[in-house]
């Protein structure tokens, strides 16, 4: 039982980390929390379902890939419509806008696909390791998390795009004077974050064997806990903290109740905000 909880916790932590990386990327540039990110995640999952069931595509992999790209474009459009007009105003305006977008997307998904849970479990191969059965996507999400983390970290550290992102986060006015298009950089960041969210949404739909319009909110809260704990804008600490949170949630849910997952997440958030308001990473870095 212990090993089973541990494996499930690592997989849940990978989901949370995927969402949190995109979450943190947006925060690094615009310095606001996008609470609509969880609903964008569910858009990717529902687009995959629609392409497979309504448009007659047989390949689940092809439908998933197309849905991820479409969700990335949706994220870019969302930034242009809901956030760009408010960029020069108070950050509270953008925060409230993201909450409004979150509610609107939840209602829109419920209107189109209804509130009932949609079955979402294509034929996927399984493997047996140490007497435990794994779906191929469970192994894939861990490999993808490692690949995405390494790629995003390298891009932010070594590429011109990463330099522009750090420049916008540090001094956006100076970046404008250097002739760098802030709109383009922010659009790229939203595209990447939305693609990562959509990927996580598809895997979460597989893990839960179905899709629900309001499933994104819970993962948004958990991803928010991770980025605050890691230190806002600090991507490199997200995977270990996300996996640790996932393991903690699974053990608590297994030993107590299904509602204890949110209790643990919000409890961790409260402790971090009270005692380490710059994130646990800042405490660790002081020691080395």
What is the chain's pLDDT, residue by residue, as a tens digit (288 residues)? 677 778 888 888 888 888 888 888 888 888 888 888 888 989 999 999 888 888 777 788 888 899 999 999 999 999 999 898 888 777 788 888 988 998 899 888 888 887 778 877 766 666 666 666 666 777 778 888 888 888 888 888 888 888 888 777 777 777 777 777 888 888 999 999 999 989 988 888 888 878 888 888 888 888 888 888 887 767 888 888 888 888 888 888 777 666 666 677 677 767 766 666 555 554 444 443
- Establish if 9 belongs to a structural domain: yes
Residue range(s) defining the domain that contains residue 205:
2-214
pLDDT computed for residue 132 by the predictor: 65
Per-position b or e across 94-113, b if 16+ CB within 10 A of its CB: beebbeebbeebbeebeeeb
The answer as to whether 246 is a domain residue is no
- Token digits for 108? 């829109």
HSE-up of residue 152 (Cα within 13 Å, Cβ side): 29
Q: Which residues contact 68 (CB under 8 A, 6 or more apart)?
A: 44, 195, 198, 199, 202
Per-residue confidence (pLDDT) for residue 284, from 0 to 100: 43
Residue 52 within a domain: yes
pLDDT digits over 136-176, tens only? 777 778 888 888 888 888 888 888 888 888 777 777 777 77
> Residue 242 corresponds to which tokens in the numbers above?
């996300």
In a domain, 39, yes or no: yes
Task: Give the number of domains in the chain.
Answer: 1
Instruction: Give residue 278's pLDDT.
Output: 58
Exposure string over 11-26, b if 16+ CB within 10 A, otherwise e: bbbbbbbbbbbbbbbb
Alpha helices in the chain (DSSP H): 2-30, 37-53, 60-78, 91-113, 136-158, 160-170, 172-177, 182-208, 215-230, 238-255, 260-275, 280-286
pTM for this prediction: 0.85
Largest CA distance in the chain: 60
Q: Answer whether residue 245 is part of any domain.
A: no
Question: Residue 10 corresponds to which tokens in the numbers above?
Answer: 């690592």
Six token digits for residue 116: 């009932």
Do the domain assignments include residue 243? no
Q: How big is the chain by its Cα radius of gyration, in Å? A: 19
Q: What is the pLDDT of residue 285?
A: 43
Looking at residue 261, its pLDDT comes to 65
Q: Is 43 part of any domain? A: yes
For residue 43, what pLDDT is reported?
92
Q: For residue 30, what are its two tokens?
A: 């615009």
First to last CA, the chain: 37
Reduce the secondary structure of 38-49 to three states and give it as a string.
HHHHHHHHHHHH
Query: Dihedral of CA 95/100/105/110: which sign?
Result: positive
Pairing of strands 132-135, 210-211: unpaired
Asked if 42 and 216 touch (Cβ cutoff 8 Å), the reply is yes
| 241 inside domain | no
């Amino acid at each position: 039982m212990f090993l089973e909880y541990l494996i499930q916790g690592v997989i849940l932590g990978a989901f949370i980390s995927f969402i949190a990386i995109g979450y943190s990327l947006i925060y690094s540039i615009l310095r606001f929390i996008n609470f609509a990110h969880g609903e964008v995640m569910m858009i990717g999952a529902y687009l995959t379902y629609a392409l497979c069931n309504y448009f007659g595509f047989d390949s689940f992999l092809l439908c998933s890939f197309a849905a991820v790209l479409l969700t990335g474009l949706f994220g870019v459009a969302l930034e242009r419509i809901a956030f760009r007009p408010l960029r020069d105003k108070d950050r509270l305006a953008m925060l409230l806008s993201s909450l409004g977008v979150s509610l609107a997307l939840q209602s829109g998904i419920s209107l189109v696909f209804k509130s009932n849970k949609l079955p979402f479990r294509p034929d996927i191969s399984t493997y047996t390791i140490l007497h435990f059965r794994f779906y191929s996507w469970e192994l894939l999400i861990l490999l993808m998390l490692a690949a995405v983390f390494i790629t995003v970290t390298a891009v932010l550290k070594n590429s011109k795009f990463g330099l522009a992102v750090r420049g916008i986060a540090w001094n956006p006015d100076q970046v404008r004077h250097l002739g760098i298009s802030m709109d383009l950089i922010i659009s790229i960041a939203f595209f990447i974050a939305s693609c990562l969210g959509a990927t996580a949404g598809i895997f979460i739909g597989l893990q839960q064997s179905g899709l629900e319009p309001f499933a994104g909110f819970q993962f948004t809260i958990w991803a928010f806990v991770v980025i605050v704990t890691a230190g806002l804008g600090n991507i490199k600490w997200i995977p270990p903290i996300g996996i640790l949170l996932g393991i903690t949630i699974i053990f608590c849910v297994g030993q107590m109740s299904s509602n204890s997952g949110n209790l643990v997440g919000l409890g961790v958030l409260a402790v971090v905000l009270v005692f380490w308001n710059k994130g646990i990473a800042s405490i660790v870095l002081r020691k080395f």
